[in-house]
Chains A and B, each alone.
Chain A
Amino acid sequence: MSADAEAPKDEKPAAADRRSFLDLLIRGGLLAGAGAMAAPTVAYLWPARAGGGKTAKVSAGPVKDFPVGSARMVQAEGKPIIVIRAAEDRFRAFSAICTHLGCVVKWDSGSGKIRCPCHAGVFGTDGKQVSGPPPRALSEYEVSIVGGEVVVTL
């Protein structure tokens, strides 16, 4: 039973109006608060329609636009990635961060090597260090061809 129903019959109508307005505000506020709490829960439980997943994928473009002996820079999750077409059927992707002091490496098409512009570190098309100060090979990512696109999976 509501407070209004319990109101004495000799009470002034203005006081009854104030009470019903107060109740209205409280109900509205409670409803808004409940809605604000329910919204993220519903959003969380609602089936995902796009994105998500543990691994990130990034396209390096169509295979037909990727000549043998060339490379492309792509980025995913804040990481620069160098994708190389080492042979007709061989694509490889490596982290473009030099293992020496963290500079961004570049592809040198003339020598067919990956070079670091900072301290002249050189990596082969297998990502392994060829010369210079880098202490270890570049990290490698998985490459696949999906629908004619070169896709790198992180």
Chain B
Amino acid sequence: MEPRRLRCATDLTGAVSSCRGAAAIGFCTVLFLTAPRGLAAQETSSCAPCHEKERAQEEKSVHLREGVACTDCHGGDPKEIDKGRAHADRVKKVPHTEVPKLCGGCHADVRRMNPYGLPTDQLSRYQTSRHGEVLAQGDTEVATCTDCHRAHGVLSVKSPDSPVYPRNVPGTCGRCHGDEELMKKRGKKSTAPALYRQSVHAALLFDKGDLSAPTCATCHGNHGAVPPGVRDITHVCGKCHVKEHEVFERSPHFQPTRQGDFKGCVQCHTNHKILKSPADIRKKCGLCHDEDHPGPKRFDAIFARIDRGEAALRRTGERLEELTRAGFHTEDDRVLWEQAKTANRQILPGQHALDLKTVEDLASTAEKTLAEVDRSLEEKEKSKRVRRLALVPIWGFLVVMAGLFWAKRKAVEKRAGSAPSPGDRE
């Protein structure tokens, strides 16, 4: 007779069905009793011992912590230890197309989400998103909730390990949107993630660690992700760039944007790479205008003025620093310099109206204030020169004193040489 083997360690369900009786019951009792206190439904359910991989993935999940059981998504009976009965009405694998509705079962439930302060419009947003639209059209590969949040091991957005943590969002979106083959099948470009990495937004997020820096979701939306329409672009950018948005309404480009003939901000800055350097932006003028057009000329005049102002501000700032280091009181000058800087800083957002007069007004305000600072610094520099001249008499004094000591020494030596020795006196 073949000896009875207990296979519970690797396959509890199989063990329960094969080794009926006291051995299995005893093992399961031990499992239950030795389970760490505080573990939620999944750990104490009969799923965990067989579905080791999923259990491990769920370890840090917010769902596990809040008592969401495997069966809440997959069905089945968590109290049943017999595999057949436990899996009776189980959905083997939730179909990808059903995921949004399944998650929405809880996440669109206002009462259920209320204590967590979570929004409950994600499902409706998803359904109106480009992802949701494509899903409805039968694309079963399109992203649903689990593609961004994972199926098991869903973490809070505040967790740095979460795929939807701000620093991880570009990578999460880039998994599909940077996949050339996947995007090609849908007639899309796969360059957006790579371009974003070169943008000023990515530099803020990755280099400076600014978690409030825009990611893909900031402009496109997260659950309701859609590419913004041409007319909406200024509103999308204007969420953060408030001043630029306000000023742009006075720009000659505003009306064409409203009519859908000009792509607003992205026409000059591009959408994902977000050009910032005036030289790069200047090249964009040529897409619509001839070089003889007054527009590009105005652009050149504006940026020449800005460059001049910045150079003057920097020069004065350096003089200010030098005099502060030299021990002069420069507090009042510093306040004035800050005011000049404020006027200068207003020019960059202000130039979006492409109005040379506004730029000129701000630049001359900055210049006048800087001139005042420069006058004051000039006085201090004069004083510094006078102080340096004071070293001349001090060094002169030291040289004279050295000369006097030398003469004294010579005189003493001379006297000592001419004086009679003690023997001569006798």
Residues on A close to B: CB < 8 A? 3, 6-8, 18-19, 22-23, 25-26, 29-30, 32-33, 75-80, 97, 101-104, 117-120, 131-133, 135
Contacts and interface: CB of A to CB of B under 8 A. Distances in A.
18 contacts: A3-B411, A6-B419, A7-B415, A25-B404, A29-B400, A32-B397, A33-B401, A75-B331, A78-B330, A78-B331, A78-B334, A79-B335, A97-B338, A103-B342, A103-B346, A104-B338, A118-B346, A120-B246
A101 B349 CA distance: 13
Given A8-B415, A32-B397, A117-B342, 9 more contacts: A3-B411, A25-B404, A29-B400, A77-B331, A118-B243, A119-B242, A132-B242, A133-B242, A135-B212
Contact of A78 (B335, B342, B418): B335
In the complex, which range does the number of interface residues on chain B fall in? 20 to 34
Contacts of B346: 103, 117-118
Contacts of A135: 210, 212
B308 interface: no
Given A77-B331, A78-B332, A118-B345, A22 B404 contact: yes
A119 B330 contact: no
Contacts of A120: 242-243, 246
Interface of B: 210, 212, 240-243, 246, 330-335, 338-339, 341-342, 345-346, 349, 397, 400-401, 404-405, 407-408, 411-412, 415, 418-419
B243 A119 contact: yes
Question: Closest 10 A-B residue pairs measured CB to CB?
Answer: A78-B331, A78-B334, A120-B242, A103-B342, A120-B243, A118-B345, A104-B342, A29-B401, A75-B335, A119-B243
Contacts of A7: 415
Given A79-B335, A119-B243, A22 B341 contact: no
A34 B411 CA distance: 24
Contacts of A118: 243, 342, 345-346, 349
Nearest to B349: A119
A33 B401 CA distance: 10
B243 A102 contact: no
A30 B339 CA distance: 51
A150 B4 CA distance: 90
Nearest to B244: A119
A26 B243 contact: no
A74 to B, nearest CB: 10
A7 B415 CA distance: 7
A104 B404 contact: no
A78 B331 CA distance: 4
A7 B382 CA distance: 52
Contacts of B401: 26, 29-30, 33
